[in-house]
Structure formats: C-alpha cells, structure tokens
Amino acid sequence: MRPIITPRITGDQIQKMPEILSIGECMIELFSEEPIEEAHTFTRSLAGDSFNILVAAQRLGTSTGYVTRLGDDPFAGYLLQTWEGEGIDTSHVRKVPGFNAVHFVSLLPGGDREFVYYRTGSAPSTIEPGDLDSDYIGGARIQHLSGITQAISTTARQTVLKAAQIAKGKGISVSYDPNYRHQLWSHDEAREAMEEVIPYVDYFLPNVPADSQMMLGTDDPHEVVAHFRSRGVPVVAVTRGEHGAVLGVEDQVIEVSAYRPDGPIDTTAAGDAFNGGFLHGILNGMDVEEAARLGSVTAGLKLRGRGALTGMPYREEVFNVYERLRQV
C-alpha cells in the first residue's frame, strides 16, 4: 500500500509554493574531528546534498521544498523538526516503515573528508515516481536533481528522471549536480544516469575533479564547459574548490574566484552551499556571473563550520561580504 502524505501546508505555503524543490535522501550525520578508526566521540547532525542545497538557499531567503521518504525509526522526529525548523516545506515528505540512513564523517588534513555510509535499503531510497506531484513541481521555479539521489536505488533513479520530465513539460527550470561518489557506483553507471537527465537540464553544476573525471576523464573545467555547452545545456557552472568556478553561458566562458575566509576549514557541503547561493542569485535576477559570485561567498563562509549544517551562512552575512567584495 502506498504511504499517505502527511499534510503540513500552512496558509502562507498555500499562497506561495516553494521556489526550489529538491528530491533525495537526508542522512543522520555522525561527525568526528579524528580519523574514524581512532574516534571515540561523534557529534550528531544531519546531511545530504539534496537537503544541504535547500538549507543554503532557504537561509538566503528563497523558499524551498523537500521531496523524500522518512523512515519511522527514532531519528524521524529529529530529521523532520530540523527540516521544518529551517523553513523547508515538508508537505511532500512521506513517512514510511523503515530506517533512515546514517553516515560517519571525519576531517582529514587539508580540510578533505573521510566517509562511511550505512544507507542501502533506507526508507528514502525506496522513493518512486508515484511519489511525485506534478502540480507541486509545476508550482516551483527550479527543480533540483542530484546524481547521489540517482545512485541510491533503481526507483530513486527513475524518480529523478520523471521529475526532470515533469518539470520540463511544465516549463520549470531544472538544475542538476552529478555529485559523483565512488562508494555508491561506478563511472559507467553514473555517466549512464547523467545522460538520462542532461536533455532536460538548464543549470548543470558539476565539480572538478570527481565529476569531470567520471564524465570526460579530465581535470580541465574548460573542457567540461565546452563539451556540455556544445550539447545545448544553457548554463554550465563547474566548481573547482579553492580555485573557484568556470562558467559557460551563451558565447561566454567566465572564471569566478573562490572566497576563502580565515578560520577552520571543512569542505563538507561547500559545493552544495555554492549551488544554493547560485540558484538563489538566479531566482533573484542576477546574471550568471554575479550568481556564481554569490555562490562563492556562500561556499566560502560555509568552510568555517564543521559538518554539513553547522556554518551554513545566513543572508545578512553573505550579502555583507558579497557587497564588500563588489566594491574592491
């Protein structure tokens, strides 16, 4: 029997549907400052690329909505309360029997991370195309999709493709981050899934080197931009960590510098922060270059916080830095 959607739509939400929708899996995050094999203490939080991008955009002022399944284990209340506490619309979250995924993450020298996942068969991975509401998608302005969501199950991959098709049919922009994770699948599987959705994508958001190696076997962001622009993707924004981003739009190729504030460095969710800031800028009338600069500031400020959620910046701080940098 298909699970029932638990309605949580407020009066304000009826009047204003979310501007960005995202589909995927939010995991319990257990974070350690030490290598996982040496750690004695882990701090509980939550994370997932499809969720992180919503937090980044929501904290900047864009309304967002999450489409996922929620397991009925003891973590369910914590997850749901956190989503709603961020202001994310949860009217299309389905609560089902099962467990919510968990991942362990630790910080390595230089700010990189080590992950261990326990997610196979999780409740969110059972999402299926029938969970999608075409009217909900049609009321948004951007439908965001992720390669990680495609990777977690066959039905999740089918759901991502169906969402892209619905959005395109209703004239809604589609953003897509391939976000390749070698722990989840092979290069060939990831490329095949990416190729399914590329015809529907308006904003393509890969990174160097993980995504670029999976897609084209290159570390050159300019090659990535040229390839996907030649295939008709309207906007390509390739992030490359501390080296900023390379953008392709119309007949332009634009480079945007990274913003690197002082302080502790943890790259967890920095790419998601960039994407959330970038899409917020697009939705608020910025051109592609300025939206990328906003994304860069959002990502740079996120670097200061440990884990995915901690340190994700709010609107006032982001725009204070963004305006200051524009005057330099």
The region, left, alpha or beta by phi > 0 then psi within -120 to 50, assigned to residue 6 is beta
The residue written with tokens 């599987």 in the block is: 189
Does 272 participate in catalysis according to the annotation?
yes
d(CA 145, CA 179): 10
- Other CB atoms within 10 A of residue 325 CB: 15
- Write out 89-145 in H/E/C secondary structure: EEEEEEEECCCCCEEEEEECHHHCEEEEEECCCCCHHHCCHHHCCHHHHHCCCEEEE
- Strand 27-32 and strand 43-47: the pairing is antiparallel
The residue written with tokens 């906003």 in the block is: 294
- Annotated catalytic residue, options 72, 73, 272, 287: 272
Q: What is the CA radius of gyration of the chain?
A: 18
d(CA 41, CA 19): 38
d(CA 197, CA 307): 29
Catalytic residues: 272
